[in-house]
Chains A and B, each alone.
Chain A
Amino acid sequence: MSSVLSSGTQPVRIEQDVVLARQVVRKAAIDCGLRLIDQTKLVTAASELARNTVVYGGGGDMDWAILEDGLRKGVRLLFRDEGPGIADLKLAMTDGWTSGGGLGLGLTGAKRLVNEFELDTAPGAGTRITITRWT
């Protein structure tokens, strides 16, 4: 079982919050001791998910935590919104598919950039996405 070394919450309501979320994640990734390449992957995944929270979820929050699990450490991020949720998960997890004007790489790309990816959503019930990157 992993223990939480530090944690916090960053609002993700407007477009500019995406930049703030990236900065918060970068700091947590550095504090956690992630290598530069892993920091970059986590920050990029966070940027994709934070944008989704603003654009599709109508705004929400990002909870972050630095975890310790035996010898390894990691950063866990939870993006949560009370938006419309995702009706067709299979479609949303298809490379290149987008309901908006994007490239359709946000969800699938973010998943490839982290070690753990969990998605919890239902139509009308909002969306919760948890990602973790370990050292």
Chain B
Amino acid sequence: MERIPILRMGNFLLVTIQVDMHDQLALTLQDDLSERINATSARGVLLDISALDMVDSFIGRMIGTISGLSRIMDAHTVLVGMQPAVAITLVELGMNLPGVLTALDVERGMKLLRDRVASE
């Protein structure tokens, strides 16, 4: 079965989405991530979507769910790399991703995660 790889970097999990995601793949990623957070006691998830040229309501919902479930499991999720055209479209679509932490790039995202975890 097709899967999106989840890499471990110390306390954090790194997910880079580089394929045009169909819905089942998004659902599988959600399940895989919750299992990996549990198995590794990760404190943060970095979700890199810089390669995605569109985010529709289904993928948007997946992002919100991942953010919410990681919070419940004592981890933070930071979404990084959203392309400007994707951001504009997403807001016009009606999705503002409330509560989802974002950063412009991976470097800033990692810093945000480190700061969050250090302040707890």
Contact = CB atoms under 8 A, between A and B. Distances in A.
A51 B23 contact: yes
The range of chain A's interface size is: 20 to 34
B22 A106 contact: no
Contact of A43 (B54, B57, B58, B94): B54
A79 to B, nearest CB: 14
B22 A44 contact: no
Interface of A: 15-16, 18-19, 22-23, 26, 36-37, 39-41, 43-44, 47-48, 51, 95, 102-103, 105-106, 108-109, 112-113
Enumerate the 8 nearest inter-chain pairs by beta-carbon distance, A residue then B residue, closest first.
Answer: A109-B93, A40-B85, A47-B56, A105-B57, A37-B85, A105-B94, A40-B89, A19-B22
7 contacts: A18-B23, A37-B88, A39-B85, A40-B54, A48-B93, A51-B23, A103-B61
Given A22-B20, A41-B89, A105-B94, 6 more contacts: A15-B24, A26-B53, A44-B93, A48-B93, A105-B93, A105-B95
